[in-house]
Amino acid sequence: MSDCLFCKIVRDEIPCRKVYEDDEVLAFHDINPVAPVHFMLIPKLHLDSLAEAEDAHVALLGRMLVLAPRLAKQQGLDNGFRTVINTGRGGGQEVFHLHIHVIGGGNIPPMVRRS
């Protein structure tokens, strides 16, 4: 996906503050953090969103989920963290390359406010 923002980050065409990288996965700090620690885990393979995930992606997605707590700990989140995957316009997704937000530190409010 030549004009995808996160694919450009994967290809080093746009800089990022890298947290982790291997052959399949890249993690980098969010440019507009909502908490003291806020980074994203993305597959290097372009998938628009979680809605496009198929059986062929099970191992890749599993690796990303297992990496999340390890990287969170490395970033100093000893007391827990939040993971968020926004999917599609209805889920508030803005960048259409699948990503897992890892958010923590400070006071994390309840995810859904009930009135």
Which residues are identified as catalytic? 99
How far apart are alpha carbons 71 and 40 in whole angstroms?
A: 10
Q: Which is nearer to ligand AMP, 60 or 96 (CB)?
A: 96
Q: Does the protein bind Zn ion through residue 46 (CB under 5 A)?
A: yes
Residue type, 17: R
Strand order in the sheet with 100-104: 18-21, 25-29, 37-43, 100-104, 82-84
Site string for ligand AMP, 8-27 (x = CB under 6 A): ------x-x-----------
Closest to Zn ion by CB, 35 vs 47, is 47
Where b means 16+ CB within 10 Å and e means fewer, 64-78 reads beebbeebbeebebe
Q: Rounded distance, CA 95 to CA 82, Å? A: 19
User: Is 57 a residue that touches Zn ion (CB under 5 A)?
Assistant: no
Residues 35-94 that bind ligand AMP (CB under 6 A): 86, 92-94
How many residues contact Zn ion, by CB under 5 A?
6
Among 4, 30, 45, 60, binds ligand AMP (CB under 6 A): 30
